Amino acid sequence: MIPVNEPMLVAEDIQNVIDCVRSGWISSHGEFIEQFESEWAAACGVKYGVAVSNGTTALQIGMECLDLQPGDEVIVPTFTIISCVLAIVRSGAHPVLVDSEPRTWCIDAEQIEACITARTRAIMPVHIYGHPVDMDRITELAGKHDLRVFEDAAEVHGADYLSGRDSANSTWRRCGGMGDLAAFSFYANKLITTGEGGMVVTNDNVLAEKLRSLRNLCFQPPRRFYHTELGYNFRLTNLQAAVGLGQVRVNAK
């Protein structure tokens, strides 16, 4: 059998797993979780990373953080995984599909503005097969219409985007670090893998705190079992983070 993909695990991954098992911290707490979150966020050029159980749950809690109301609309490409639409629908909003352009299969940014209405609240660009979306146009539209940008960066680990490429002040920016928040997948077919796993990254500390709460059943530090909000058990394990940490360090170089 010829595999479609194989995980490329480095020596550091194996040693980290051994160290994690020996420590006894194999569940959702431990030093590897914290390092994995902080180092991947830094690699994306943002402040905060919140590790979760997979890319789908990353999309789900990220979308829930946007506080969408029934009838609100989120723009999403026609060519993407069902997880994107699932996250929008489960947040109570309505997905508005915009066609993809044939060269990269990413959302056609020039078709977005015609689909923006008074109910539009966010745009979800999906970087397909390692190809960055035209983020300059996306962020321009988001600023013009006061919209949130939630990048699906599940397939674009480590890719850079040349922002302002038609100006004298062009600069390279890391995919996953250009929106209000971004979701990554660390499934076995991804460039960085933890077997299963995902992460939401953001520069917004309020969003980061809400993400951490939602992934952990909305426990409250002062009164752990007193709930004012409902969350999910979407935690990543320390053992999974140990698998991915070395790959993050290689990717970030």
Domain over 11-158+172-252 is classified CATH 3.40.640.10:
yes
Of 168, 164, 103, residue with least CA distance to 129: 103
Q: How confident is the model at residue 249 (pLDDT cuts 50, 70, 90)?
A: confident
Quote the pLDDT of residue 11.
86
Could you tell me the two tokens for 139? Answer: 């962020």
Global pTM value:
0.94
At 92-132, the pLDDT tens digits run 999 999 999 999 999 999 999 999 999 999 999 999 999 99
* pLDDT exceeds cutoff 90 at 1: no
> Regarding predicted confidence, which is higher, 79 or 222?
79
Q: Where are the domains of the chain?
A: 11-158+172-252
Contacts of 43 (CB under 8 A, 6+ apart): 158, 174, 248, 251, 252
pLDDT in tens, 218-229: 998 888 899 989
Give residue-wise pLDDT tens across range 47-58.
999 999 999 999
C-alpha–C-alpha distance, residues 231 and 216, integer Å: 6
What is the pLDDT at residue 252?
Answer: 66
Percent of the chain clearing pLDDT 90 (strictly above): 87
**Whether pLDDT at 253 is above 80:** no
pLDDT score for 6: 83
